[in-house]
Amino acid sequence: MIAAPGVAEEILELKQERRAILLAHHYQEPEIQELADFVGDSLELARKAREAEGDVIAFCGVWFMAETAKALNPSRVVIVPDKAASCSLVDSCPAEPVREFRRRNPDHVIVSYINTSIEVKAESDILCTSRNAVKVVNSIPAEKPILFLPDRNLGNYVKKQTGRQNMKIWQGACIVHATFPARRLLDAKAAHPEAMVVAHPECPEQVLRHADFIGSTSAIIDYCGSSPAREFIVMTENGVNFSLARVARGKKFHYVANENCNCSECPYMRLNTLEKLREALISLEPRVEIPEDLMQRALIPLERMLAVK
């Protein structure tokens, strides 16, 4: 898919005028990914935001990702195309219950998935993404009890991979990954018997048990690109197809519909459009603004995550 020439050209001109860098998640519409300076998953985008040059970061993803970019770049303007681009995981985990848990359980290490609000990040000891969650948990002394939040499927996967029995798991879920039904995956496997199954760890365990590979969005892309297999059933948001088509040319990819919309799209990610991006670059709104004290508190667990190798 090629971006609409007029709008795309305006965006490129505005980027230069504003000295802006455009970061886009793999789940964005292809025409946005085409214009991005960098496309990645949450961990990659967090690192790229920290390295960003220029005056403006235009973040095409969801709001919590833009908050992360702002915390790492407090002196830069961070904008998003649509402020309503939220996340079901963020919505499932308000800050006050996390504060209450800490008051009642001061001995626990709070490990927060990056898919959380800046307020929850500020209450956390360390953050993680789906790409480094196992490494982050393994970096915590074995005797320390853990609260992992908010994604229950990722938490259960990490608990199984690390063998940590003293780990409590918040009961949030992604509205895309958590609603992939195993029965539809089995139907897809029957229809495509030669295909390898690749799955994001936010999927339910009933789905993950059928996967040949489990990993973050970028890890899935890397795996499909390097694997000798020619056909894959992809258990994640289908916006990833743009990147898969670039790194795994000639290979076939099949997507399984979830229960919510009979599709595999994130409704929040798809709120961003080229037209909204153009308007954001013109007005520098919606703009991410975070109180200084909150930003500093959230930066501590964020930097701890980025230090984990």
> Which pLDDT value is given to residue 2?
47
Residues 6 or more apart whose CB falls under 8 angstroms from that of 183 comprise: none
Q: What is the pLDDT of residue 50?
A: 83
Assigned domain for 230 exists: yes
Q: Which residue in the block uniquely carries the two structure tokens 């020619």? A: 230
CATH number of the domain residue 163 falls in: 3.40.50.10800
Q: Residues in the chain, how many?
A: 309
Q: State whether 98 and 51 are in the same domain.
A: no
CA 131 to chain centre: 10
Strand ranges of the sheet holding 167-169, from the earlier edge strand across to the other edge: 126-128, 109-113, 146-149, 167-169
State whether 67 and 130 are in the same domain.
no
Q: How many domains does the chain contain in total? A: 3
- Boundaries of domain holding 41: 5-85+269-290
- Judge whether 307 lies within some domain: no
pTM of the model: 0.92
One domain for residues 13 and 72:
yes
Rounded-to-integer distance, Cα 144 and Cα 132, Å? 19
Q: Is residue 235 part of a domain?
A: yes
The sign of the torsion formed by the CA atoms of 262, 263, 269, 270 equals negative
Same domain? For 11 and 69 the reply is yes
For 249-263, what is each residue's pLDDT tens digit? 999 999 999 877 767
What pLDDT digit, counting tens, does each position of 85-133 carry? Answer: 999 999 999 999 999 999 999 999 999 999 999 999 999 999 999 999 9
| Spatial contact of 185 and 212, defined as CB atoms under 8 Å apart | no
The angle subtended at Cα 307 by Cα 300 and Cα 96, nearest 5°, is 30
Evaluate whether residue 66 is within a structural domain. yes
Structure tokens at 78: 């961070």
Q: Do 109 and 142 have their domain in common? A: yes
